[in-house]
């Protein structure tokens, strides 16, 4: 590993040489800045958030936070059925969005990776990738144009004496399923890509019908890709408050957390409520890890 | 798996429908950007270039674009350094907690944005003395690291053999090896990762609202004007620019590194 020719003298080179000669030192030099950032700033912040969940907020006189330990925020969340309703509503919508996106994503992901030729494959890949990176807000704006009272959907349906769902929970479901769809298609397509054609052929050579091959050979192999995609669709829906606030007036976990931050907000209550999606996601990620989804991320 | 003719046509039909669903809302934005009326109703009666012109000269939107570009550049710079250091460490070494590290790096995008946002918000306000441009950049860099990391680590994985070792054996110093061997090897992965990180930062709003304080990035400008009927025509026109602008970095990333398509799903 060590250079066989002496380096030119100089302070920088001497340090570089010392570091490069010692594998451990090199690893520490590589790891310290990024891990320092992620552990201190990010995990540290999550730690502060967790601590804040136990702080006290005086909502009567001072409107200020006292940093003492108490379980009152959690008691308040558990005692008030409104919060339970909001949490359940959010988790249901997140599950519906995930299932819907998985169903819609299957045909296109399969076509992309198993049926298209190389050129078409590249075109389809870019066609799905571009909207994934298109502004999230712009997509919400588009759906406001579609779903509003005088909007596109009602305009198109009027001749048939029908009308769209308008703003509300259904709108939240449609908009979020739309926005996160590419996040499901791409990992699923990558999952199909990893299924060897030879296995599929072997299965049909051995007499399995299309459905049997799909269910017993293809599906188990693409499962990690499917779960990887669902991490995004589920998590992103669980924490959303912007799309939610733009197409509905009902409350979701994200909107409760958001409305309690800021100078006059009840940060401790918001922090306690933020623990809900964190626990749900940690359970989800734990399950996903068992299914091998991290290798597919 | 032999697909019957009808199944094949079903799959292609579903693919076409899905693409239509994905693109129709974006095309509607393009139409409404030229809508003559202030009322955003369907069908559109007349078309005009007025709002596009107003969008280009709107001072609020222009300041927001400038701020977004600044934040994006700073955050991308930090992410490029930290992401590639981490990629080298995870790719080149076996160490205790290596799997945890690759878990930690995706956490900022795997946890709901609102959690990351309020966690940073609580920390900045309680320990850093408030929100500023600085805290905004920190917030963005935190979730951009993973994009660079994924691009670089994937490139390193697909590079056969240890070129750096060969270079050292042939007598190159560490700096020479980096400049002539390692850097050219990962250059396009860095460029692709950097472009995608910039696109991610440019578009982000959830963490932004929690970390920006009084700073108004372009997404925040759009967000604060989206519910003002008076401003909506200009917002539509700005949105069209945003669609076109976000397409450019992604297209470039795809061109410089064919990896971008397969890797973006890991953003």
* Minimal-distance CA residue of chain B relative to A196: B1
Average pLDDT over chain B reads 85
User: Burial of A60 by CB count in 10 Å (0-12 exposed, 13-18 middle, 19+ buried)?
Assistant: exposed
Q: Return residues 46-65 of B near A (CB < 8 Å).
A: none
Quick one: pLDDT at residue B263? 37
Most confident of A213-222, B72-81, B161-170: B72-81
Number of CB atoms found within 10 A of residue A157's CB? 12
A80/A36 same-domain check: no
A179/A37 same-domain check: no
* Minimal-distance CA residue of chain B relative to A101: B18
d(C-alpha A252, C-alpha A83), whole Å: 9
d(C-alpha B33, C-alpha B52), whole Å: 7
Quick one: pLDDT at residue B168? 79
Partner-chain contact B243 A138, CB within 8 Å? yes
A126/A230 same-domain check: yes
Task: Name the residue range of residue A26's domain.
Answer: 11-42
- Contact predicate A98/A240, CB 8 Å: no
d(C-alpha B59, C-alpha A198), whole Å: 60
Q: Which residues share a beta bridge with A56?
A: A66
ipTM: 0.82
A184/A226 same-domain check: yes
In order of A46, B91, B103, B105, the CA distances from B100 in angstroms are 16, 14, 5, 9
Quick one: pLDDT at residue A296? 58
- Contact predicate A182/A132, CB 8 Å: yes
Q: Please report whether residue A63 resides in a domain.
A: no
d(C-alpha B34, C-alpha B234), whole Å: 10
Q: How far off is chain A from B260, nearest CA to CA, in Å?
A: 9
Quick one: pLDDT at residue B76? 96
Partner-chain contact B169 A4, CB within 8 Å? yes
**Token pair for A105:** 């994503």
Domain count along chain A: 2
Q: Please report whether residue A56 resides in a domain.
A: no
d(C-alpha A30, C-alpha A25), whole Å: 9
pLDDT in tens, B180-210: 888 888 888 898 889 889 988 988 888 999 9
Helix axes A136-147, B218-225, angle to 10 degrees: 20
Q: Please report whether residue A276 resides in a domain.
A: yes
d(C-alpha A92, C-alpha A81), whole Å: 16
User: Residue ranges of the domains in chain B?
Assistant: 50-264
Q: What is the DSSP string of A6-19?
A: PPPP-HHHHHHHHH
A115/A38 same-domain check: no
Question: Is B41's Cβ below 8 Å from some Cβ in A?
Answer: yes
A66 in helix, strand or coil? strand
Nearest CB to A33 within list B4, B28, B85: B85
Quick one: pLDDT at residue B261? 43
Question: What CATH class does B50-264 carry?
Answer: mainly alpha
Q: Return residues 100-139 of B near A (CB < 8 Å).
A: 101-108, 110-116, 118-123, 126-127, 138
Query: Which H or E run includes A56?
Result: strand A56-57
- Contact predicate A185/A105, CB 8 Å: yes
Partner-chain contact B265 A186, CB within 8 Å? yes
Query: Contacts of residue B171 in chain A, CB cutoff 8 Å?
Result: 3-5
Q: Return residues 195-224 of B near A (CB < 8 Å).
A: 196, 199-200, 203, 205-206, 209-210, 219, 222-223
A243/A123 same-domain check: yes
A139/A184 same-domain check: yes
Q: Please report whether residue A141 resides in a domain.
A: yes
Q: How far off is chain B from A135, nearest CA to CA, in Å?
A: 5
Q: Please report whether residue A232 resides in a domain.
A: yes
Partner-chain contact A278 B173, CB within 8 Å? no
Nearest CB to A130 within list B145, B223, B250: B250
Q: Which is it for the CA torsion B220, B226, B230, B236, positive or negative?
A: positive
d(C-alpha A141, C-alpha B240), whole Å: 11
Helical H segments across chain A, by residue range: 11-21, 23-36, 44-52, 72-79, 81-110, 118-133, 136-147, 152-157, 169-193, 197-205, 210-213, 219-238, 242-247, 253-259, 267-290, 293-296
Query: Which H or E run includes A65?
Result: strand A65-66
Q: Does position B178 have pLDDT exceeding 50, yes or no?
A: yes
Percent of chain B with pLDDT over 90: 25
Quick one: pLDDT at residue A127? 87
* Residue pairs spanning A and B at CB distance below 8 A: 317
Question: Is B39's Cβ below 8 Å from some Cβ in A?
Answer: yes
Query: Contacts of residue A278 in chain B, CB cutoff 8 Å?
Result: 111, 115
Q: What is the DSSP string of A192-256?
A: HHTS-HHHHHHHHHTT--HHHHIIIIIHHHHHHHHHHHHHHHHHHHHT--HHHHHH--S--HHHH
Select from A45, A91, A47 the least CA-distant residue to A240: A91
pLDDT under 70 in chain A at which residues? 1-13, 15-17, 19-21, 60-63, 262-264, 293-297
* CATH code, domain with A235: 1.10.3720.10
CB contact set of A270 (below 8 Å; sequence gap of 6+): A256, A257, A258, A260, A261, B118
Q: Does position B142 have pLDDT exceeding 80, yes or no?
A: yes
pLDDT in tens, B48-75: 888 888 888 888 889 999 999 999 999 9
A28/A174 same-domain check: no
Q: How far off is chain B from A69, nearest CA to CA, in Å?
A: 16
Quick one: pLDDT at residue B260? 43
**Token pair for B60:** 């609020």
């Amino acid at each position: 590993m060590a250079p066989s020719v002496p380096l030119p003298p100089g302070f920088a080179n001497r340090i570089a040489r010392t570091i490069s000669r010692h594998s451990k030192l090199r690893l520490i030099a590589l790891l310290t800045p990024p891990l320092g950032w992620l552990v201190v700033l990010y995990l540290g912040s999550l730690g502060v958030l967790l601590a804040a969940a136990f702080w006290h907020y005086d909502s009567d006189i001072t409107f200020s936070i006292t940093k003492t330990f108490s379980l009152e925020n959690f008691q308040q969340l558990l005692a008030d059925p409104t919060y339970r309703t909001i949490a359940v509503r959010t988790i249901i919508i997140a599950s519906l969005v995930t299932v819907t996106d998985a169903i819609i994503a299957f045909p296109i992901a399969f076509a992309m990776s198993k049926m298209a030729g190389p050129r078409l494959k590249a075109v389809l890949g870019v066609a799905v990738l571009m909207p994934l990176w298109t502004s999230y807000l712009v997509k919400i704006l588009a759906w406001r144009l579609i779903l509003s009272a005088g909007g596109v959907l009602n305009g198109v349906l009027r001749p048939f004496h029908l009308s769209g769902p308008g703003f509300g929970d259904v709108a939240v479901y449609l908009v979020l399923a739309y926005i996160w769809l590419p996040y499901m298609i791409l990992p699923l397509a990558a999952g199909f890509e990893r299924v060897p054609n030879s296995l599929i052929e072997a299965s049909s050579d051995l007499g399995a019908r299309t459905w049997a091959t799909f269910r017993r050979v293809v599906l188990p192999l693409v499962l990690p890709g499917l779960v990887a995609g669902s991490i995004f669709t589920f998590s992103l829906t669980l924490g959303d408050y912007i799309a939610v606030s733009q197409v509905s007036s009902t409350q979701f976990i994200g909107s409760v957390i958001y409305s309690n931050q800021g100078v006059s907000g009840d940060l401790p209550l918001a922090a306690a409520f933020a623990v809900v999606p964190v626990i749900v996601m940690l359970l989800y990620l734990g399950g996903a890890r068992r299914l091998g989804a991290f290798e597919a991320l | 798996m032999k697909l019957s003719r009808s199944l094949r046509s079903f799959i292609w039909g579903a693919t076409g429908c899905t693409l239509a669903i994905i693109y129709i809302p974006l095309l509607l934005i393009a139409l409404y950007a030229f809508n003559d009326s202030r009322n955003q109703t369907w069908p559109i009666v007349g078309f005009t270039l007025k709002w596009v012109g107003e969008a280009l000269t709107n001072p609020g939107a222009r300041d927001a674009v400038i701020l977004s570009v600044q934040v994006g550049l700073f955050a991308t710079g930090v992410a490029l350094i930290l992401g590639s250091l981490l990629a080298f460490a995870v790719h080149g070494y076996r160490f205790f907690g290596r799997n945890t590290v690759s878990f930690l790096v995706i956490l900022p995008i795997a946890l709901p944005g609102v959690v990351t946002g309020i966690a940073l918000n609580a920390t900045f306000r309680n320990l850093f003395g408030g929100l500023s441009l600085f805290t905004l950049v920190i917030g963005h860099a935190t979730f951009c690291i993973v994009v660079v990391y994924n691009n670089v680590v994937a490139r390193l994985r697909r590079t056969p053999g240890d070129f750096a070792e060969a270079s050292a054996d042939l007598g190159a110093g560490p700096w020479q090896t980096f400049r002539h061997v390692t850097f050219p090897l990962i250059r396009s992965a860095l460029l692709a990762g950097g472009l995608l990180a910039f696109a991610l930062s440019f578009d982000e709003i959830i963490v932004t609202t929690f970390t920006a304080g009084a700073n108004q990035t372009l997404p925040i400008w759009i967000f604060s004007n989206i519910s003002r009927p008076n401003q909506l025509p200009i917002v539509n026109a700005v949105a069209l620019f945003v669609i076109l602008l976000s397409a450019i970095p992604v297209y470039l990333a795809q061109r410089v590194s064919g990896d971008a398509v397969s890797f973006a799903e890991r953003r």
